[in-house]
């Protein structure tokens, strides 16, 4: 009987606690659908007029391709410590890469990149590198807008790619990325420098042995000192991948290589199967960029 009484009391306490929590959720603006406490997880387009025209977003972390292509990507720069070293190595081996830039750092160190990006492409990595999944839609939009403007102003390029800091994606991040017509780029392989602090060649072996067709490889050109393990060994990685027949390209080139041949309009020529012409990943919305137009 005592056991039964304890079970009933425990059950009553749980019910009461649930009722209190439910009332708090209903009453608190923190739990309202438009502002969840786990920042920006909500993305119901019907609740915001500006979001109604959106509805498609490409997210890439690996590309399905039968060509031996992979993409090197570098996050968090530019910075005076290591970005020049990375660029020097890539120039030495004539390898292209994709740099996901933090707008705040670009404003401070744009000179590190000017005149050195001919074979490379750049993408948006936010203005100040916060966890965007913890921010609401307005704050995320500002992060992307400021970084987008910095890239256009400082480098004369219009980014088409976006990588969220830490790879964290909430609903507000998806909404903002769609507003800029970005392709969201994550990764399928990464430099794990902390694993190889006493064995730098081990990082080389891991990349050379594991990276294959369609992989997007994450590295950094700003950060903690252990990241120098990858940067210092970058030439050996490139040499090893080339020996395996892997060719390094930009993310946009990799994405194009994974797409089927474009079907010609009715009455036109048959598809040739040739890859599309070089250039960035085409925007789905054509030439208009509503989010950027609001900045002008």
| pLDDT tens digits, 240-269 | 999 999 999 999 999 999 965 444 444 444
How many CA atoms lie within 13 Å of 228's alpha carbon, on the beta-carbon side?
A: 6
**Predicted structure pTM score:** 0.77
What is the phi-psi region of residue 14: left when phi exceeds 0, alpha when psi lies from -120 to 50, beta otherwise?
Answer: alpha
Cβ partners under 8 Å of residue 263, min gap 6 = 271
Distance separating alpha carbons of residues 245 and 257, to the nearest angstrom? 16
pLDDT at 289: 57
**78 upstream amide cis, omega within 30 of 0:** yes
pLDDT at 42: 53
Active site residues: 75, 220
pLDDT at 48: 62
pLDDT at 295: 55
pLDDT at 22: 42
- Helices 171-179 and 137-155: angle between axes, nearest 10 degrees: 40
Distance separating alpha carbons of residues 205 and 200, to the nearest angstrom? 9
pLDDT string in tens for the chain (296-residue length): 444 444 444 444 433 444 333 433 343 444 444 444 344 555 544 456 566 566 788 999 999 999 999 999 999 999 998 999 999 999 999 999 999 999 999 999 999 999 999 999 999 999 999 999 888 888 999 999 999 999 999 999 999 999 999 999 988 899 899 999 999 999 999 999 889 999 999 999 999 999 999 999 999 999 989 889 999 999 999 999 999 999 999 999 999 999 654 444 444 444 444 444 445 555 554 444 556 655 54
Distance separating alpha carbons of residues 271 and 14, to the nearest angstrom? 64
pLDDT at 285: 46
What's the chain's length in residues? 296
Instruction: Give how far the C-alpha of residue 278 lies from the chain's centroid of Cα atoms, to the nearest Å.
Output: 21
Instruction: Give how far the C-alpha of residue 110 lies from the chain's centroid of Cα atoms, to the nearest Å.
Output: 20
pLDDT at 170: 86
pLDDT at 45: 45
Token couple for 69: 């292509």
Residues facing residue 185 across a β-bridge: 60
Query: Reduced to 3 states, what is the DSSP secondary structure of residue 101?
Result: strand
Cβ partners under 8 Å of residue 250, min gap 6 = 71, 96, 97, 98, 120, 121
pLDDT at 56: 81
| Domains of the chain and CATH, by start | 60-261 (3.20.20.370)
Token couple for 88: 């020097």
């Amino acid at each position: 009987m005592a056991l039964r009484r304890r079970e009933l009391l425990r059950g009553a306490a749980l019910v009461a606690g649930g009722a209190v929590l439910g009332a708090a959720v209903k009453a608190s603006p923190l739990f309202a659908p438009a502002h969840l406490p786990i920042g920006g997880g909500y993305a119901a387009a019907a609740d915001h007029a500006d979001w109604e025209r959106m509805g498609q977003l490409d997210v890439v972390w690996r590309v399905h391709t039968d060509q031996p292509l992979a993409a090197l990507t570098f996050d968090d720069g530019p910075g005076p410590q290591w970005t020049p070293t990375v660029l020097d190595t890539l120039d030495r081996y004539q390898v292209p890469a994709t740099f996901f830039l933090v707008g705040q750092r670009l404003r401070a160190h744009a000179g590190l990149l000017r005149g050195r990006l001919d074979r490379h492409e750049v993408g948006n990595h936010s203005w100040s590198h916060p966890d965007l999944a913890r921010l609401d839609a307005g704050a995320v939009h500002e992060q992307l807008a400021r970084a987008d403007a910095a890239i256009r102003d400082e480098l004369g390029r219009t980014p088409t790619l976006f990588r969220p800091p830490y790879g964290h994606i909430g609903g507000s991040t998806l909404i903002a990325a769609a507003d800029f017509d970005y392709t969201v780029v994550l990764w399928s392989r990464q430099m794990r420098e902390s694993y190889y602090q006493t064995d730098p060649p081990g990082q080389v072996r891991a990349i050379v042995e594991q990276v294959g067709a369609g992989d997007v490889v994450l590295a950094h050109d700003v950060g903690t000192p252990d990241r120098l393990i990858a940067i210092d060994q970058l030439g050996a990685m490139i040499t090893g991948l080339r020996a395996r027949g892997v060719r390094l390209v930009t993310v946009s080139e990799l994405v194009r290589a994974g797409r089927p041949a474009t079907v010609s309009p009715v009455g036109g020529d048959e598809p040739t199967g040739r890859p599309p012409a070089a250039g960035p990943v085409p925007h789905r919305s054509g030439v208009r960029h509503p989010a950027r137009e609001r900045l002008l």
